[in-house]
């Protein structure tokens, strides 16, 4: 289950702990992931009963349902739309894919040779239709490719709720900028995509599609999805929206009577907006059927008390990190940022965050790369560029004039105390704990950390507006780790919350985008990774193992790892 853009675009994790498993891939209960990195209790449809409700937690109801828009680029939205929008690929546990026959019959790739460009041909399932009866055709793909191709893209204005009416506001242009044209093939059900340059991650870009009418112009694209409930005419999937109750924080999906594939087994899927601290108890009391990602010991210890519970563990694509606002006054100095990074004990912070969860080994999850997870091909720990070294951090601060005077607790320069402000989300244990850990670690090198509390609803708005100095949150990664570099680290990207331009990123991203030799591409990506460590744009802390609590009889759902599932096949065993 993958909404358009989600397979190839990094998304912000919700404050409930990230994706609950609907899209991805036992203390009595659980245990380590199997060798494939997944635990979903895979069952054939014949072994499952018809009916039943699946209740899933989310952080909040969205203000914009468009997953390609920066305001809709959240894992919760991707999970919900994964039940109701086209998804072209079925991902296997190793991250490779095959066609989803509900939407595609086949695909063909002609590699670039000489003067001949790379051409991808998609043959669509002729039975596939939008909910208003319109067929899904090449025209939908052409319009989807057009909106974020970079030719008419605006930066989001976090200071205003008003949307531009003449430009598209995109979460990312990665992939789309490599598309030369999308044309009709033998008939309207054949999509022919010609690329400007070789593009190895084309399948991430064309993992899904939006209805052309829903993104026909910038105004519709930017504001047409800003409704209580998405326009049913714009959707196509095994489920449809039944209701959205914003006062109760509830979204209800039911089987789509216009669906052409296998009938959905569940009679209803409900998403409930809950604070992170309320989720464990709601699951334990059987008010929820699954949890989002388990992120701390309190959640883990609470959920395993439920008699029929198990915790399914999989390879995680979500990663925890510090983002540093380079435009904040004191943070504008790269050497200050480097000193901060060298004062961070990331191993200690990881162990503290994950203490008490006995089905994982926290020290194995410490992350040393901005792109590859430790279990992905290409992973190299590049954190030695700015290693944990408090003594060196102090010397660096001395060098640039931030001195620790005798008898003083914190460094000063020109009579001003060296202070940084950490933006903490109230009620989110990891956010609060990471702030306290940072406070203790920075004190050892003479930096004062003031913790500034905020709500989960305001947090990401403050990131976009640059109203912070340092913060921690999670990105939900993808099966395409080399396709998202420009999204977070590109100078012009709306998702570059650090507001920092890194010359090596600008130089190498175009090469990485078109390099077809996998080893060379990995080497180039790791070169960029080292530059990001040196610039101190973002400091990774750890990879989040995917831990999902479910009832034991729930099948085809849980910790998907790098794989994906079919929403229509989720159900309860007989």
Residues with Cβ within 8 Å of residue 185, at least 6 apart in sequence: 121, 123, 138, 191, 192
Residue 556 placed within a domain: no
Q: Which two tokens stand for residue 297?
A: 């010991």
Cβ neighbours around 187 below 10 Å, total: 11
Query: What pLDDT score was predicted for residue 495?
Result: 87
Residue 220 placed within a domain: no
Determine the length of the chain.
574
Residue 335 placed within a domain: yes
Rounded to a whole number of angstroms, the distance between the first and last alpha carbons of the chain is 24
Query: What pLDDT score was predicted for residue 9?
Result: 60
Query: What pLDDT score was predicted for residue 23?
Result: 40
Report the SS3 class of residue 398. helix
Q: Rounded to 5 degrees, what are φ and ψ at 97?
A: -140, 160
Q: Rounded to 5 degrees, what are φ and ψ at 171?
A: -65, -35
Cα separation, 178 vs 373, in Å, equals 25
Averaged pLDDT in 10-residue chunks for the chain of 574 residues: 52 52 34 62 97 96 94 90 97 93 98 93 99 99 96 74 84 92 98 96 96 97 96 98 97 98 98 92 97 88 95 90 96 98 98 93 95 92 98 98 95 97 93 97 98 92 93 90 90 91 96 94 98 98 94 96 94 97
Report the SS3 class of residue 416. strand
Catalogue the E-assigned strands of 325-404.
Answer: none
Inter-residue contact 541 to 434 (CB < 8 Å): yes
The secondary element (H helix, E strand) that includes residue 540 is: strand 538-551
Residue 106 placed within a domain: no
Q: Which range marks the domain in which residue 492 is found?
A: 316-545
Cα separation, 315 vs 19, in Å, equals 13
Cα separation, 178 vs 190, in Å, equals 20
Query: What pLDDT score was predicted for residue 156?
Result: 57
Number of helices (H), then strands (E), belonging to the chain: the values are 14, 23
- Structural domain count of the chain: 1
Residue 93 placed within a domain: no
Residue 137 placed within a domain: no
Chain-centroid distance, C-alpha 260: 30
> Concatenated DSSP letters for 316-344?
EEEEEEEEE-TTSTGGGSHHHHHHHHHH-
Residue 375 placed within a domain: yes
Q: Which residues face 546 on adjacent strands?
A: 314
Residues with Cβ within 8 Å of residue 63, at least 6 apart in sequence: 71, 226
Residue 376 placed within a domain: yes
Q: Which two tokens stand for residue 541?
A: 């802390």
> Can you give 450-514 as a three-state secondary structure string?
EEEEECHHHHHHHHHHCCCCEEEEEEECCCCCCCCHHHHHCCCCCCCCCCCCCHHHHHHHHHHHH
Q: What is the CATH number of the domain that holds 468?
A: 3.10.105.10
Q: Rounded to 5 degrees, what are φ and ψ at 242?
A: -95, -45
């Amino acid at each position: 289950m993958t909404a358009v853009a989600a397979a190839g675009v990094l998304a912000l994790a919700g404050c409930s702990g990230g994706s609950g498993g609907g899209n991805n891939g036992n203390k009595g209960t659980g245990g380590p992931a199997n060798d494939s990195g997944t635990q979903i209790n895979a069952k054939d449809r014949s072994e499952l009963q018809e009916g039943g409700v699946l209740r899933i937690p989310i952080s909040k109801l969205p203000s914009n349902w468009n997953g390609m828009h920066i305001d809709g680029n959240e894992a919760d939205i991707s999970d919900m739309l994964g039940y109701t929008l086209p998804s072209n690929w079925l991902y296997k546990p190793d991250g490779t894919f095959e066609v989803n026959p509900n939407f595609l019959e086949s695909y063909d790739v002609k590699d670039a040779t000489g003067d001949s460009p790379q051409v991808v041909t998609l043959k669509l399932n002729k039975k596939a239709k939008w909910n208003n009866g319109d067929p899904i055709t090449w025209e939908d793909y052409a319009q989807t490719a057009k909106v974020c191709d970079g030719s008419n893209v605006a930066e989001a204005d976090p200071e205003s709720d008003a949307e531009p009416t003449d430009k598209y506001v995109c979460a990312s242009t990665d992939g789309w900028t490599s598309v030369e044209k999308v044309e009709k093939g033998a008939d309207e059900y054949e999509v022919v995509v010609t690329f400007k340059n070789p593009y190895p991650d084309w399948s991430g870009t064309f993992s899904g599609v939006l209805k052309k009418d829903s993104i026909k112009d910038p105004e519709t694209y930017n504001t047409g999805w800003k409704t209580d409930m998405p326009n049913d005419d714009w959707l196509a999937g095994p489920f449809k929206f039944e209701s959205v109750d914003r006062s109760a924080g509830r979204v209800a999906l039911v089987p789509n009577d216009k669906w052409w594939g296998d009938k959905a087994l569940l009679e209803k899927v409900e998403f409930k907006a809950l604070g992170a601290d309320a989720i464990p108890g709601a699951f334990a009391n059987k008010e929820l059927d699954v949890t989002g990602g388990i992120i701390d010991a309190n959640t883990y210890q609470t959920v395993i008390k439920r008699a029929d519970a198990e915790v399914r563990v999989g390879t995680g694509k979500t990663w925890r990190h510090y983002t540093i606002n380079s435009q904040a006054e004191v943070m504008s100095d790269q050497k200050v940022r480097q000193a901060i990074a060298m004062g961070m004990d990331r191993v200690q912070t990881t162990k503290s965050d994950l203490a008490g969860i006995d089905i994982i080994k926290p020290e194995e999850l410490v992350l040393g790369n901005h792109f590859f997870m430790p279990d992905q091909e290409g992973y190299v720990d590049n954190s030695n560029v700015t290693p944990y070294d408090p003594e060196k951090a102090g010397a660096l601060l001395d060098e640039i004039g931030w001195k620790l005077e005798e008898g003083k607790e914190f460094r000063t320069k020109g009579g001003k105390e060296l202070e940084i402000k950490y933006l903490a989300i109230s009620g989110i244990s990891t956010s609060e704990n990471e702030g306290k850990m940072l406070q203790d670690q920075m004190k050892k090198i003479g930096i004062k950390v003031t913790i500034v509390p905020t709500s989960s609803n305001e947090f990401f708005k403050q990131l976009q507006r640059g109203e912070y100095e340092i913060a921690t949150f999670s990105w939900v990664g993808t099966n395409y780790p080399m396709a998202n570099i420009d999204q977070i680290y590109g100078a012009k990207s709306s998702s570059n919350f650090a507001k920092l331009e890194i010359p090596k990123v600008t130089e190498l991203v175009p090469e990485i985008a078109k390099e077809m030799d996998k080893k060379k591409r990995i080497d180039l990506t790791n070169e960029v990774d080292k530059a990001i460590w040196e610039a101190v744009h973002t400091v990774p802390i750890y990879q989040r193992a995917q831990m999902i609590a479910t009832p034991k009889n729930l099948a085809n759902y849980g910790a998907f790892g790098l794989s994906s599932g079919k929403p229509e096949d989720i159900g309860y065993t007989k």
